[in-house]
Every structure is written in C-alpha cells, then in structure tokens.
C-alpha cells in the first residue's frame, strides 16, 4: 500500500479517534469531578458525612472501574443503541468510553481532593463558609494541579480504550490497525498507526505535565494565599477586642 493510499485512511482514523476521545473525556470530567468530590465530602469526617451514600457511590465507582472495557462495551450495547441508534462506529463508541471514563476519573479526583490542606477548609469554615464555598474556593483551586494531571491520565487511558473499541467496529486508529494491519497484513500501515498513537500520547503527557507543574509553581510562589488572607481577616477583630478591653 502506497502513502497516497494510506493518507486518507489515516486522516479519517485520526479524526474519529479525536472525536471519540474528546467527547468521552468531556463527559468523564463533567461526570467524574462532582462524583469524586462527593466521595470526599460524604466520607467519615467529611463536610457532608453520610456513610450510606458514600458506600453506595464507592461501590458503583468500584464496579465501573473493575469491569474490562470490552465487556463494558458488550454490556452496554442495548443502551448504546438506544442513545445513538447503532452499536458500530465512533459515535456509538463514545457511550461506553464516557461511562468507563467517569468512575476512572472520579477516583483520581478523590485522591487529588484528599491532598488539600485541611487547615484551609477549617479556616473557611471558621469564617462562616458553607460547603459550596469550600468546594469552589478551596478544594477545587487547591487541587487543580493534581486535577490537571488526573485529566491527562484519563485522556491517555481513553485513547487506549478507543483503540480497543476499534477491534469491535468502533472506528478510529484501532479499527484501522486491525482491519489493514492485522487482517490484510499491511504491516507498514500498522506500524505507522502505532507511531501516531505513541506520538499523540507523548504530546498529551508532556502538555499535561507542563500545565500541572506551571500551576504548582505558581501556587508555590504565591504561598498559602487563602490561608493568610483568612488569618489577616481575623486580625482586626482581635485588635478590636483588645481595645475594648
């Protein structure tokens, strides 16, 4: 197979992979972020401590993470057909990709949020901040570098899932590698597909690491700003009490 024959196939496969991974990542982040934060808030000692809710959510996440993606695709065929009208193609593959990515990202979010300094949470609580304020002003901003790294890990995992989806007609680079590289013995095309996947993953990993490091350095240079501001906000009250005495 010549390059002129390979090029349109590679362009179409790359576009399909980009669409699958892009939409599934967006859905995974939108669904997994609140789920991961809720796992922290409802845990023992959390702001919304609720053992029953925490265990139910945790069990759902565990089941979603433990299921192999191929089995998940088969199990969701009827649901996928109901959503998209088909079980074949890149659009159909988005459904199991997104559902598989949500619990994966939720656990990473839970780990990232647990690393936030509890002193900041207590300081906001002492000033009358409610749960939503703590989540919006402390938990998410302070864990942002870790959340960026978690998103990068999720994107790379979904690229691997999308290649796996190609083996059962999901489209994309995985489908191209199987149909031409394996079934038609086009070894050159298969290795080009592997190289493209390797380059894409390396670029995404580099970009994610760079963004996470940049946010971390910026936070380190600015120091514990929220904490200091909260403490400074308390100083006039203390001074006022001293004058009154």
Give the model's pLDDT for residue 112. 93
The pLDDT value given to residue 170: 76
pLDDT for res 230: 44
- pLDDT for res 234: 45
Q: How far is CA 102 from the centre of its chain?
A: 7
pLDDT at 26: 96
Contact yes or no for 158/99 (Cβ under 8 A):
no
Q: Which whole-number Å values give the CA distances from 195 to 132, 189, 200, in the listed order?
A: 45, 10, 9
Is residue 219 within 8 A of residue 145, CB to CB? The reply is yes
What pLDDT sits at residue 236? 46
Please give the pLDDT value at position 154: 95
- pLDDT the model gives residue 218: 73
d(CA 190, CA 218): 42
Q: What is the pLDDT of residue 235?
A: 43
- 8 Å CB contact between 56 and 99: no
At 183 the pLDDT is 75
> DSSP label at 237?
H
Token output for 178 = 């199987």
3-state secondary structure 183-221: CCCCHHHHHHHHHHHHHHHHHHHHHHHHHHHHHHHHHHH
Q: How far apart are CA 201 and CA 205, in angstroms?
A: 6
Distance CA 161, CA 105 (A): 14
Kindly write down the DSSP assignment for every residue of 16-35, as one continuous string.
HHHHHHHHHHHHHHHHHHHH
Contact 64/99 with Cβ under 8 angstroms? yes
pLDDT value of position 144: 92
The whole-angstrom separation of Cα 221 and Cα 219 is 5
Cβ–Cβ < 8 Å for 32, 104:
yes
- CB distance 110 to 36 below 8 Å: yes
Q: Which two tokens stand for residue 120?
A: 């900041």
Res 223: pLDDT: 53
Residue at token pair 């400074």: 232
Phi then psi for residue 176, to 5 deg, are -65, -45
Q: What is the pLDDT along the chain (245 residues), one digit of tens a residue?
A: 777 778 888 899 899 999 999 999 999 999 999 999 999 999 988 888 899 999 999 999 999 888 888 888 888 889 989 988 888 888 889 999 999 999 999 999 999 999 888 888 888 888 888 888 889 889 999 999 999 999 999 999 999 898 888 777 778 888 888 887 777 777 888 888 889 999 999 999 999 999 988 887 776 555 554 443 444 444 444 444 444 44
Residue 77 CA to its chain's centroid (Å): 23
């Amino acid at each position: 197979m010549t390059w002129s024959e390979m090029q349109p196939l590679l362009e179409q496969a790359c576009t399909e992979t980009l669409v699958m991974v892009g939409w599934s990542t967006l859905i995974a982040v939108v669904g997994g972020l609140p789920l991961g934060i809720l796992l922290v808030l409802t845990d023992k000692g959390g702001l919304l401590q609720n053992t029953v809710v925490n265990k139910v959510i945790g069990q759902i996440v565990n089941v979603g993470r433990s299921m192999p993606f191929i089995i998940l695709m088969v199990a969701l065929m009827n649901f996928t057909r109901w959503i998209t009208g088909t079980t074949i193609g890149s659009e159909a593959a988005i459904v199991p990709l997104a559902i598989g990515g949500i619990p994966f990202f939720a656990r990473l979010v839970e780990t990232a949020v647990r690393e936030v300094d509890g002193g900041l949470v207590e300081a906001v609580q002492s000033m009358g901040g409610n749960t939503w304020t703590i989540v919006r002003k402390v938990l998410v901003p302070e864990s942002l570098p870790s959340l960026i790294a978690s998103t990068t890990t999720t994107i790379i995992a979904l690229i691997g899932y999308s290649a796996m989806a190609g083996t059962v007609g999901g489209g994309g680079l995985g489908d191209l590698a199987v149909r031409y590289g394996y079934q038609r013995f086009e070894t050159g095309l298969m290795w080009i597909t592997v190289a493209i996947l390797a380059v894409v993953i390396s670029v995404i990993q580099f970009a994610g690491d760079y963004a996470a490091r940049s946010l971390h350095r910026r936070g380190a240079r600015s120091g514990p700003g929220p904490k200091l501001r909260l403490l400074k906000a308390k100083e006039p009250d203390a001074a006022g009490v001293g004058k009154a005495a």
